[in-house]
Amino acid sequence: MRVWQCQTLFLNDCAKVWIKIEKLLTYLEINAKIILTVERTLLWIVTILLGKTGFRKSSYFLWDQVYFFYKNNFMKKANDLVKLLYDIDNKIGKIMIINKVINNNVLSTHDENNREIVLMGKGIGFQKKVGDEVAEDKIEKRFVLDSEDEVGKFSELIEMIPHNYLNLSVDIISYAQQVMSKRLSPSIYISLTDHINFLLERSTKGELFENPLFNEIKSFYPSEYLVGEKALELIESEAGIKLPQDEAASIALHFVIAEYNMGMSDTVNATTMIRECISIVEKELGIKLDELGLHCSRFITHLKFFAQRMFAGELLDNQDQEFLDMIINKYPKEYDISEKISQFVQSKYGYDIPKEEKVYLAVYIKRIQPHIEI
């Protein structure tokens, strides 16, 4: 909460204190002890305000400004104090204090919402220590991590890799954020940087492998795959290493993980399961699905979120049996196919699929059939 928003709160909470202060001020010339009492009382009120408005400890050095202001201006009213605090709040909001120096070119701080921010820039951490003010003119890149634990993992990682690999990773993520317009888990900064480092190490040893899910990733996650292709271009430009297209799919998978907030194992299983579900539908309907077509694309999107819910243990389970039975009676063939998919999933992955999920699968199976309107 900003200080100006606290003005009403301040006046209400401290009204009685202000009345006492003004009475004391009338005796200012008589008793020196009262002066000290007033000053301490004012500073106490300021301390409460600073706590309520979320000031960091780094702002305490500004308390002297408040103290001296009132030492020479005792008859000022409450709104003057609020205005002074508002000015201080603006100043504090623009000051970033170093929380951790990761290396000469990377450090962490907190933003005004107390989120952990990693800042990058040539020499930004050189000869700096915790508590110093960030040299904002040296900030070249910034990103947010979820916790100090992630900052710790990130710190360990970048101590082991070349600085240009980190820059490369941040550039790829920035591109992804522009073209995908989707929220990505901050963990992508750790996982992708680690992947690029390991990838380039393997490439120098000639240890590059085919991605067994290349076709599935390219088909089911087209936006993420395009980011992977762009990543290969940036890697070639920065490191001078030309990598095979399979690596675009591997990089894309990291963005799928960051987007759907699943682990690598679940993401691989989800991608495999989507292909298996499509194969079951094609076999049962006796058709070849156009995976680039609108209806099939919608079906694939549904399968993505179905897989996400399944591996997260959050499958839909509506108790509106009348509605579910109505859909089952309307699309018996499609529901029978969804039953076959559910039996397969239960057999291979060990998840029981609720009736509601099977009904939604049936609806989407109906929509992908050619020349049929629902």
Q: Residue 80: its pLDDT value, please? A: 56
| Residues 359-371 as b or e (16 or more Cβ within 10 Å = b) | bbbbbbbbbbbee
> Does any domain span residue 155?
no
Report the pLDDT value the prediction gives residue 340, as an integer from 0 to 100.
Answer: 96
Q: Is residue 16 part of a domain?
A: yes
Q: Is residue 182 domain-resident?
A: yes
Q: Are residues 17 and 43 part of one domain?
A: yes
Answer yes or no: do 323 and 338 share one domain: yes
Residue 113: predicted pLDDT: 73
Pick out the chain residues at pLDDT < 50. 1-11, 13-39, 44, 48-63, 66-67, 69-71, 73-78, 82, 92, 371-374
Same domain, 89 and 100: no
Residue 175 counted as domain residue: yes
Residue 47 and residue 119 in one domain: no
pLDDT at 145: 77
Residues 74 and 34 in one domain: yes
Which domain, by its residues, includes 17?
A: 4-93
Residue 89 resides in a domain: yes
Q: How far apart are CA 250 and CA 214, in angstroms?
A: 8
Report how many domains make up the chain. Answer: 4
Residue 156 domain-assigned (yes or no): no
pLDDT tens digit sequence for 308-352: 999 989 998 876 788 889 989 999 999 999 999 999 999 999 999
Verify that 87 and 118 share a domain, yes or no.
no
What pLDDT sits at residue 5? Answer: 43
* Half-sphere exposure for 33 (CA within 13 Å, toward CB): 0
